[in-house]
Amino acid sequence: MLAFENVTRVFRGGAGVTDLTFAVEPGEVVALIGLNGAGKTTLMRLALEMLRPQAGMVRVLGYPMSELPAARWAHVGALIEVPLAYPELTVRKNLHLAALLHGASPECARSAIGTWRLTPVADRRFRRLSLGNRQRVGLAAAMQHDPRLIVLDEPSNALDPASVILLREELIRRAREGASILVSSHHLDEVARIADRVLLMNAGRLIGSLDTTGHDLERAFFDRIREDDEQNQTAEVFR
């Protein structure tokens, strides 16, 4: 459903991602973790053609990105950084438009309002919502059309505990129904509850996976990052 094959995208100044290779299979939840600036959002932008690689290939729904039919994007749902919505329109109208843009029946917006517990604010303008409610609208818009591929960047941002549990349940349910899910997060305990695999990212590179069965995930995470940094520093010395 989503595959990166030796993908590189480097910006001026040296930031970016290098030689990324991984895949997300149907029914699988893959979590991406790393420190701020590790390249997680860049990776997700590449997955959605918001950026294009300088080397390598991204495949979406079985197609090379350059050959993906426009209609196939209706099978993708995403929330990157902040929810995209018209600030002067109501929650209901924003979800209605999001459904139409994905070729889905507007009736799915009604169901999404209930699922994401947005009924009390359904007729409120988006700009008047709290950050948590805005995030729930973004999640509803990303998933209401039952996409086959879901890409979420820090989806639990600004959510209260009840909404985090709701998000977890929705992702698990959709994976069981066959959706492929790529999610980034800095909440290690939370991703350990839902992810089939947890990929570690550091300095624009994938450096392996994290065993989520351990009792101290945070320590294991920082140990791996430190080891990778030390290896990079040693490599620089001998260049």
Q: What is the pLDDT of residues 188-218, one digit of tens each?
A: 888 888 999 999 999 999 999 998 887 788 8
Q: What percent of the chain has pLDDT over 70?
A: 98
pLDDT value of residue 81: 87
Instruction: Report the pLDDT averaged over residues 145-168.
Output: 96
Burial of 209 (0-12, 13-18, 19+ CB in 10 A): middle
Residue 57 near residue 20 (C-beta atoms within 8 A):
no
Domain 27-181+193-237 listed as CATH 3.40.640.10: no
Which tokens belong to 137?
């609208």
User: Rounded CA gap, 73 and 150, in Å?
Assistant: 11
Q: How many helices (H) and strands (E) does the chain have?
A: 7, 10
- Considering the entire predicted model, what is its pTM? 0.94
pLDDT tens-digit series, residues 118-129: 999 999 999 999
Q: Does the structure show a pLDDT above 60 at 63? A: yes
Q: Does the structure show a pLDDT above 80 at 149? A: yes
Instruction: Report the pLDDT averaged over residues 95-117.
Output: 95
What is the pLDDT of the chain when averaged over all its residues?
93
